[in-house]
């Protein structure tokens, strides 16, 4: 698998995550996606 260096880690102001309801945010925080974003994604070597 190959990776492309990502020099920009900024989120846009119109990202869909900002329009989530409280219920959707809670479901997202309790899902595997939160663990992946916090623990696995930062450890992927993109170079």
Residue 26 lies in a domain: yes
pLDDT in the model for residue 43? 87
What is the pTM for the complete model shown? 0.53
Q: pLDDT tens across 10-46, in order? A: 777 788 888 889 999 999 999 998 899 899 988 887 7
Distance CA 12, CA 18 (A): 10
Residue 1 lies in a domain: no
- The residue with greater pLDDT, 7 or 38, is 38
Total domains in the fold of the chain: 1
| Residue 20 CB coordination number (10 Å) | 13
Residue 2 lies in a domain: no
Distance CA 12, CA 8 (A): 11
Q: Containing domain of residue 45, as a range? A: 21-47
Residue 7 lies in a domain: no
Residue 16 lies in a domain: no
């Amino acid at each position: 698998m190959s990776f492309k260096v990502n020099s920009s880690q900024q989120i846009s102001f119109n990202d869909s995550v900002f329009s989530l309801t409280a219920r959707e945010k809670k479901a997202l925080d309790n899902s595997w996606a939160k663990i992946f974003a916090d623990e696995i994604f930062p450890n992927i070597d993109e170079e």
